[in-house]
Structure 1
Amino acid sequence: MFTKTLAISLIAVAALVGCSSTTGPTFNISEIQTSTGQKAYRAECYGLFENGSACMAAVQKTCGNQNVNVLQHVDGTNRPNDPREVVFNCATSVAPVPPAAPVAPAPEPQPAAAVVPATAPRKVSLDEKTNFAFDSAALTPKAKSILNKLVAESKGTKFASVTVQGFTDSTGPEAYNVDLSERRAQSVLDYLKGHGLNSDSFATKGYGKSRPVASNATNEGRAENRRVEVTLTP
């Protein structure tokens, strides 16, 4: 006889399986309970074994599709005829965790569509020095050349509105300057309409010395203020 030393305290509960063969190994499997209350099994295998493979085969059969978790294994003495004992429980197979699906990279932000602004009104300015006779609303050849080019470039276009505004410097009586600015604006508008500029509406306005774009304290500034502006709105 020999003494088997177990690493854990076991309490036998019930015999589960007993198998024998007249020519092969004999084994007995019992359900047991450890001192911690854990359910387990003891497989006692007898016969001629060169290794524990036959005993482990019986253990695996007990667990079926579950994994065998060996809790304690006693080989006895070194003589080949000694019994073998395996203490085990059956652990549920843990399904392999599938690899995480690759996270698609966030789409790159697309540049915002360019906002095409509505066509801005076109403005043409005629200064007094080269486009009008002195103290007159008569157009000079230079002014007519500028207006002819404007009409040619606008051929086939119908504008929403055409506005012509006249301005003077601060020299002279206010009423006179307003009248001169209005006559010059009207002279320009009449020329454009007479040469085929197409628009839903036409308008003129004389502002005299109001709305200066430069200082009236210098000759250069006063020259800039004496002007006619044509605004064409699509």
Structure 2
Amino acid sequence: MPKRGYHHGNLRQALVESALRLIEAKGPTGFTLSEAAKQAGVTPAAVYRHFEGREDLIAEAARQGFLMFADLVQHAYEKYQPSALAAFEATGRAYLAFARKHPGHYIAMFESGISTNRTPELSDAAARARGVLERAAAELSQHIPAEKRPPASMFSAHIMAMSHGVVELFARNAPGTASPYAPEDLLESGIGIYLRGLGLIQPDD
């Protein structure tokens, strides 16, 4: 009887989904192509019809993740328009939501060591996601005098770094990293401090 997987509709996608499960369980360097093939129900040789190696498989998982991430952030951004502040804060919350809902994709995107320039397709997907965040930052910072205004790419990178830190330290349920505050509250207060520093929201009384 032929192995399940040789004849199912989309072996390439089945391999990506196998890799995502393994990434969640073992990390991006903790599994082999043979393990991904076994989960997809094919021989290891069949993997090479679609991917040259494990890094290419992870890169495809990352590409799909960036497209999903861009859609989620875009939806969050549009939902709170025309308030630039509310829309910007929503993109930060969307970052946390994505990391929780799609941990395998998140790890492939941000923690695998795979360069976003590995393929043109991956680069384009990552750029699309960054573009949404940069647009939100640009709209929010347009009232800052030009000579004091940070570039939108720097502005959004600061928020991404803050969001990533909250995910890594407090949203993964790692032993010894429990916080008395919800990750969303930590991120919101951090963004508030950042925006007050730029003069975009009023200081607390």
Fold agreement, TM-score > 0.5: no
Higher strand share: 1
TM-score, structure 2 normalization: 0.21
TM-score, structure 1 normalization: 0.19
Which structure has more RCO (C-alpha within 8 Å, separation ≥ 6)? 2
Higher helix share: 2
| Larger Cα-atom Rg | 1
